[in-house]
A and B are shown apart, each in its own frame.
Chain A
Amino acid sequence: MARMKFLCDADRCIDCNACVTACKNENEVPWGINRRRVITINDGKPGERSVSMACMHCTDAPCAAVCPVSCIFATDDGVVLHSKDLCIGCGYCFYACPFGAPQYPKVGNFGSRGKMDKCTYCAGGGGTEVSGSLEEYKKYGANRLAQGKLPLCAEMCSTKSLLAGDGEIIAEIYKERVLKRGYGSGAWGWMTAYKEGIAS
């Protein structure tokens, strides 16, 4: 069984934001919500690096642990999904997430966060909807994984900075790159998300 992960090679990311746009388009994400975003560290300084970040689909996902209604879970592939039918919009997953992945549509005054929305690894939703159905698409976005495809953000990354797929395979690709080019600023977020780094 594959253990799906994301890996952003910061030495390749050119801050083009195509992954952000691809995600929004593929999943018809509502206004005001960004499941994926690109952040530039040390902007304008020597050694500036950009990192594309979304839900990392953590090992022992803290969002799933703190959810008061236990609506977040990991699939057999290690993809962290949630059910919008059960979500109460309390915001706890947002406090716990190390990557700022959970998003909430603002549906009313102060405390009224709507149902949480986050990257689904293009694997549909964690609700009762039939996999690949229109209902699932409307609520959670695309289910590319069921069609044997990887998340679109990574698939269409022009510099192949953003990698998606089985953790061991993408780690191997990254290690090879670091070996060949002789440097690498590391797999950002891997220590926090998966409790393991990539020896580079």
Chain B
Amino acid sequence: MKLVAAVFALTLAIPAIAQQRAADGAAAPDANAVKEQQLLQQESRIEGRIDIPDTRARVLIQPAGRRWDYFHEITLHRVGAVVILGMLALLGLAFLILGRQRISAGRSGKKITRFSAFERFSHWLTAVSFVLLGLTGLNITFGKIVLLPLMGESAFSDLAQLAKYVHNFVSFAFILGLILIVALWIKDNIPRQVDIDWLKQGGGFVKGKHAPAGRFNAGEKAVFWCALAAGAAVSVSGLLLLFPFFGTNIATMQVAQVVHALIAVLFVALILAHIYIGTLGMEGAFEAMGTGEVDVNWAKEHHDLWFVEKQAQQGLGPSSATSIK
């Protein structure tokens, strides 16, 4: 044991001496030299001076690239699959258990305008661009797992190239749509007392009885604010990635990509739920964004306070509207 310890101590001592003196006995030329591992312990990446005009290339080593690789290939694949497939399963389950929510009083045959043409344009501009961005975005993460084995590398590469350009250019339409939506609807989405009551009553989903709501109920308001927050996050992070090195470096681009990907996956799940309720999940809801007009009975059941307000605006008392039925 002692011998082993002595040999071990000697091997430790030799480099220490060697650092002081070179082989020829002169002062060691590396006495002040930096070591890679020391630098990497101090900073997450090693930078220096570079002679070529491209000064961005002065980063020598950034081991964080491997961490980003792990995020992109392991974490993101898992989170994305769980969140999106989980949401689809949840919605399937909701459809099986709750079924399609009917208009309890049946259709009245009388219509009331819910969204103007411009409101619908703003919604569909955002919606169509979101679907395109969502599909092309998912392709860049999951395409090589799902589509590449089916299509072959050459055809898949062509598709991915097209998808990249679609993603880059459609992003501007999405940002415009998001700005329009926010400008049009923010005042009707400010949380009020009635929303707390709506939430307490489970929005009518749980008790089967509709809770009072204004133009937008608390669920829609939640979707609005989540979409605004997520939309802003993906827009800002997306623009940072679209313009490499404008105020960013590799490290901040990695962070931007992580934010962009994670928020986008959650955003897709949120919008899947939104699409479900707007189409399959509820009778009479799609018309609001389709033709812009909803059935009076649907409006009374889902947005009673808004319905009364709307009637008052049109100079008709709520009683006269009820009598039409």
Contacts and interface: CB of A to CB of B under 8 A. Distances in A.
A130 interface: no
Contacts of B15: 200
A111 to B, nearest CB: 4
A52 B35 CA distance: 15
A181 to B, nearest CB: 6
Nearest to B256: A95
Interface stretch (B21-29, B106-114, B179-187, B266-274): B21-29
B254 interface: yes
Contacts of A38: 50-51
B46 A70 contact: no
A181 B64 CA distance: 33
Given A47-B32, A88-B161, A180-B23, A188 B156 contact: no
B52 A68 contact: no
B60 A192 contact: no
Contacts of B54: 32, 34, 37
B231 to A, nearest CB: 19
Given A69-B148, A100-B250, A86 B157 contact: yes
B200 interface: no
A11 interface: yes
A167 interface: no
A100 B62 contact: yes
B49 A40 contact: yes
Please indicate which of the listed interface residues B15, B37, B66, B144 has the most CB atoms of chain A within 10 Å of its own CB. B66
Please indicate which of the listed interface residues B73, B161, B164 has the most CB atoms of chain A within 10 Å of its own CB. B164
B68 A188 contact: no
A200 B164 CA distance: 47
Interface string B42-60: 0000111111101001111
B197 interface: no
Contact of A181 (B22, B68, B161): B22
Contact of A11 (B29, B48, B49): B29
B69 A110 contact: no
B257 interface: yes
Given A34-B52, A47-B32, A183 B22 contact: yes
Nearest to A68: B140
Contacts of B254: 95
B101 interface: no
B141 interface: yes
A98 B156 contact: no
Interface string B143-168: 11000100001101100110011001
B244 A91 contact: yes
A85 B23 contact: no
A99 interface: yes
Contacts of B57: 34, 37, 39, 100
B29 A192 contact: no
Given A85-B157, A182-B23, A47 B250 contact: no
A62 interface: yes
B250 A94 contact: yes
Contacts of A183: 18-19, 22, 28-30, 33
A157 interface: no
Nearest to A47: B32
Contacts of A184: 30
Contacts of A170: none
B30 A68 contact: no
Nearest to B74: A65
A96 B50 contact: no
Please indicate which of the listed interface residues A71, A89, A96 has the most CB atoms of chain B within 10 Å of its own CB. A96
Nearest to A64: B69
A20 B54 CA distance: 13
Contacts of B154: 85-86
A131 interface: no
B242 interface: yes
Interface of A: 10-11, 15, 17, 20, 32, 34, 37-43, 45-47, 49-51, 53, 62, 65-71, 85-92, 94-100, 110-113, 180-186, 188-189, 191-192, 200
25 contacts: A11-B29, A17-B51, A39-B57, A41-B48, A42-B34, A43-B49, A51-B60, A53-B60, A65-B73, A66-B72, A68-B140, A87-B157, A88-B161, A88-B164, A90-B140, A91-B244, A96-B68, A110-B168, A181-B22, A182-B18, A182-B23, A186-B35, A189-B60, A189-B61, A191-B37
